Structure 1
């Protein structure tokens, strides 16, 4: 089973920061996961929320899309987690790719597509092509139009389908059209029947977010292929 460090080792360090990604790699994680937004000046920023209200200091209501990279990069996104993480700042996607290259897969979630961030799909793909990273950077999104945009731009891109509230019949139809490699599904939605159906369709099943040993062991028994975990040192018993 693949253990994917969810926003880095986010159980031990502030999510989506370089310290969290370094710690994940130091614990031997084979994969890390992160979230990408686009700034006003088109930088690809690694941060989960659409604003800084939850993790930023000073707290700001400004949307990421309305901030320049210079503004966002100065935000403290570490001290909310603990004083020793003060002055951790949001990284760029390219920074994390540089850190992980040759060491781990980087699972990239686009928090929104071109409807909110014009051109983000092309910018992400351009970066991955430039770094020759397409084969170790699966892309996913709850914004399924973003997945269709990615597929139209790149037949080679590795795609994962984040299920959300989409009915399964429609989801399987879209997954076939998109030629995705994985169904990325909540632990609250998964069951053995869905795992078997996905496998019958040639799909991997990746489950988020799993942080308890008993739950991890249950998913392993179902045949789940991987989990997103805040504690990447977790392993099936």
Structure 2
């Protein structure tokens, strides 16, 4: 009887650890649709991901647009080129991002969208990770979130510590996540200074149960980007990672359910 109780306790503990892992669609469901596109976000909603992640830059006329790079060159179709900061929103809205070399004509009319459009799509359906890629966008990001009333449906990311410090000065409660490729105990201290809710780490961080325990002791969640290999998904979910960011969130969701 005692042995049975211990086995049940272990099973429940394992379930609770795995169940805490949030699955985040990286730049939307970018494994099957153009990154940071309306279609990629819609597909993340369709599969029931808990979050989709997006990146924002600021245009010449101060619009906040959803795109990863500082220029359109990599993601634009038809050989369009140009730096986001040197283009107006009107100019950017004419750029196609359907990625025909990867997806054919399936997304040929896909356009660059604004942060407001992405958040309006997500409202009430899925939470959003907003990665701020530039300085000077903080006030407009918070204004947009407030106007749409999605304060409880977002978390703000950045590699730029001063950006997150500014966000925290503007909003004492909004969730924030400090992105850093290689994290250690010092990272926890920096994150706590700005009252971050989590850190997001890359492949240079050795994630162990001890590392996660130390982060949790410091009041921080640990999210890992960008994980597409199934074996690594299993390992991280098994360890109890708090957030797993993937271009293929469907795989991660399936593995989480099976585990």
Q: Same fold (TM over 0.5)?
A: yes
SS of the aligned residue for 1:172 comes to helix
Choose 1 or 2 for highest CA Rg: 2
Equivalence map 1:48-63=2 (5 Å): 48-63=68-83
TM-score by length of 2: 0.85
Task: Report deviation, 1:133.
Answer: 1.1
Q: Is 2:131 aligned against 1:106?
A: no
Given candidates 211, 236, 239, the residue that maps to 1:222 is: 239
Query: Residue 117 of structure 1 aligns with which residue?
Result: none
CA deviations 1:148-207 (Å, max 9, x no partner) are 111111112210010135x63442222111101111111441311321211111111111
Q: Is 2:208 aligned against 1:211?
A: no
Query: Residue 7 of structure 1 aligns with which residue?
Result: 27
Paired with 1:226 and 1:51, the residues of 2 have a C-alpha distance of: 29
Q: Say if 1:51 and 1:60, in contact at 8 Å, map to a contact too.
A: no
Given candidates 191, 208, 220, the residue that maps to 1:175 is: 191
Q: Is 2:67 aligned against 1:67?
A: no
Q: Is 2:156 aligned against 1:136?
A: no
Paired with 1:121 and 1:29, the residues of 2 have a C-alpha distance of: 26
CA deviations 1:9-44 (Å, max 9, x no partner) are 000011000010111111111211000111111111
Of Structure 1 and Structure 2, the greater helix share is in: 2
Q: Which runs of 5+ in 1 are unaligned?
A: 115-119
TM-score by length of 1: 0.93
How many residues of Structure 1 are paired with residues of Structure 2 in the alignment? Answer: 231
Q: Which moved more, 1:85-94 or 1:14-23?
A: 85-94
Q: Which moved more, 1:66-75 or 1:54-63?
A: 54-63
CA RMSD of aligned residues (A): 1.4
Query: Residue 111 of structure 2 aligns with which residue?
Result: 89
Paired with 1:13 and 1:160, the residues of 2 have a C-alpha distance of: 26
Equivalence map 1:6-25=2 (5 Å): 6-25=26-45
Task: Report deviation, 1:82.
Answer: 1.9
Query: Residue 127 of structure 1 aligns with which residue?
Result: 144
Query: Residue 186 of structure 1 aligns with which residue?
Result: 202
Paired with 1:219 and 1:129, the residues of 2 have a C-alpha distance of: 34
Query: Residue 35 of structure 1 aligns with which residue?
Result: 55
Task: Report deviation, 1:86.
Answer: 1.2
Q: Which moved more, 1:168-177 or 1:38-47?
A: 168-177
SS of the aligned residue for 1:233 comes to helix
Paired with 1:189 and 1:59, the residues of 2 have a C-alpha distance of: 36
Paired with 1:17 and 1:198, the residues of 2 have a C-alpha distance of: 33
Paired with 2:175 and 2:135, the residues of 1 have a C-alpha distance of: 16
